[in-house]
Amino acid sequence: MPTWLLILIVGIILLVLGFTGVAEILIWIGIAVLVVSLILALLGRGKSTRV
């Protein structure tokens, strides 16, 4: 399971339980990790096709 997905799931569970401050931080961290990993994957794919 990807790290960003685990962070988002924990954040959503904490949000449901009422820990909104911690949950919002974890959700934003999960989104940031997802975006960074997508950008790195796209950049890596672009470099591998250009020989």
Q: How far apart (Å, rounded) are the C-alpha atoms in residues 48 and 31?
A: 26
Q: Is the pTM of this model over 0.85?
A: no
**Cα dist. 32→8, 24, 47 in Å?**
10, 12, 23
Cα–Cα distance between 29 and 3 in angstroms, integer? 10
**Domain residue extents for the chain:** 16-46
Write b or e for each residue in 7-44: b if 16 or more Cβ atoms lie within 10 A of its Cβ, otherwise e.
bbeebeebbeeeeeeebeebbeebeebbeeeeeeeeee
pLDDT in tens, 5-48: 899 999 999 999 999 999 999 999 999 999 999 999 899 876 66
